[in-house]
Structure 1
Amino acid sequence: MHNVLGFYLYPVLLIVTLTTVHLVAKNVLERRAEAARPVAPRAAGGRGGRIRGPRVIPAGTPLPIDTLVATARAAVPNDELVEVALPSSPEAALRMMVRQPRGLTRYTNVYVDPYRGNVLEITRTFNSEGNSPLVEVSEGLHYGAYGGPFSKAVYTVAGLMPTGLLITGSLMWWRKKRRPRKSARV
């Protein structure tokens, strides 16, 4: 029983371990890259901060949010709206994140010029945090997002299996310890 549990647990734990290392390394590298990025000056009455995505040239007053969202939705009509991020400064574009119905890299960011209402950029290869597809696949594998309820059940069982290995390993050790030793004959 102990060896069978270990054999079947190994691939799942290997996936979780490798994706953990990848995601931790990604976070460390992201923090270093974030520290190196220039900070946009604080606008009068605005929040300021780092500008994500393409920059725009301010021209008058921004268009209504409904108009901007409709423009972005027209660019990706089959995708589900997940988030609308308002511009953090006058030079920032409106970002709308959508989720594609299928695929390993399911998130798309659509950047819209808030003053002119045109789509500036569509990034289909990045997820909501601006990560590469490899990071998004790693996150999906790490959290069991692929395969629906079946993969969640596999991950749940795999999460409980180390306890089973501890118990069966302890029982094996205890039985071996209780067995009387055969004395060596000379």
Structure 2
Amino acid sequence: MEIAAKADDAIPNRVMAFGVDWVILSLLSAVIWFLFWMVRAVLAIGGAASDGSVGTGLGVLAILLALVQWALIGVALLAYFTLLQTRSGQTLGMNLLDVKVVAADGSPVTRKQALVRNAVLIAPLPLMAVVSVFVPVIGFPLAFAMMVGWLLVELGAMFVLGDGQRIGDRLADTFVVEEADLVTEEVTGTPNEATQPGDA
């Protein structure tokens, strides 16, 4: 079986699997966001009740906390995708939709491959953090729009680049295929090996 030839067939389930992961990670990010928001709210109240120098110091601390919050979300996202894909080739969403990420030869992805493909997926996060923290009022909606835009670019790449690969897959030399295709390859490969001349 040519892995690349099977990757296009997996695109619909792959997209739905990412939708499941998006919901899971959105909930996780919301928890992190809420915890840091409470801390910043306490600092804001303290700053309002204090003199100018203390208030300025607390304001700087609130900004640093916001950046740490974004960094923690980024680490959580990268860890979720990388650890699960390195261990089993599947995130929770991929397991639910029966798709799997593999290397070009069908073997399990290495940790380096998983890191590369998923680092590309969350590449806009540093810029999103800066925009969200330093642009008043519209910072967070703008950051959210940036991520959605990037995900659409990655989705479009699966059709433009060919072989069902997004940019991260192309750089990591990985493919996402239906798990059933991998099972079929293993099953059909066994009889062929068993009937080689001279094996009897």
Say yes or no: TM over 0.5: no
Between structures 1 and 2, the one with greater helix share:
2
What TM-score, normalized to structure 1? 0.28
What TM-score, normalized to structure 2? 0.27
Between structures 1 and 2, the one with greater strand share:
1
Which protein is bigger by CA-based radius of gyration? 1
